[in-house]
A = this chain, B = another copy of it.
Amino acid sequence: MPRFFIDIASENIAWPEIVIKGDDARHIARSLRMAVGDEIIVCDKEANEYRARLTKIRDEECTAEILDSFRATSELPVCVTLYMAFPKGDKLETVIQKATELGVGRIVPFESSRCIKRPKEDKIDKQLQRYRRIAEEAAKQSGRALIPEISAPMSFEEMLKDATALKKAIFCYENETEHRLGKIISSLCEGEAVSVIVGSEGGFSPEEAARATEAGCLSVTLGRRILRCETAPLFVLSAIGYQLELLN
Contacts and interface: CB of A to CB of B under 8 A. Distances in A.
Interface in A199-248: 221-228, 231, 234-235, 238-239, 241-243, 245-248
A180 interface: yes
A185 to B, nearest CB: 8
A181 B224 CA distance: 22
Given A231-B102, A231-B234, A238-B242, A225 B142 contact: yes
A141 B231 CA distance: 13
Contact of A102 (B75, B141, B180, B225): B225
Interface residues of A, number: 37
A73 B182 contact: no
A53 interface: no
29 contacts: A73-B224, A76-B224, A98-B231, A101-B225, A101-B227, A101-B228, A102-B227, A102-B235, A142-B225, A142-B226, A143-B224, A143-B226, A180-B245, A181-B246, A182-B242, A182-B246, A182-B248, A222-B246, A223-B241, A223-B242, A223-B245, A223-B246, A234-B238, A235-B241, A235-B242, A238-B238, A238-B242, A239-B242, A242-B242
How many copies are assembled? 2
A6 B243 CA distance: 38
Nearest to A235: B238
Given A222-B246, A235-B241, A238-B239, A228 B141 contact: yes
Interface in A98-113: 98, 101-103
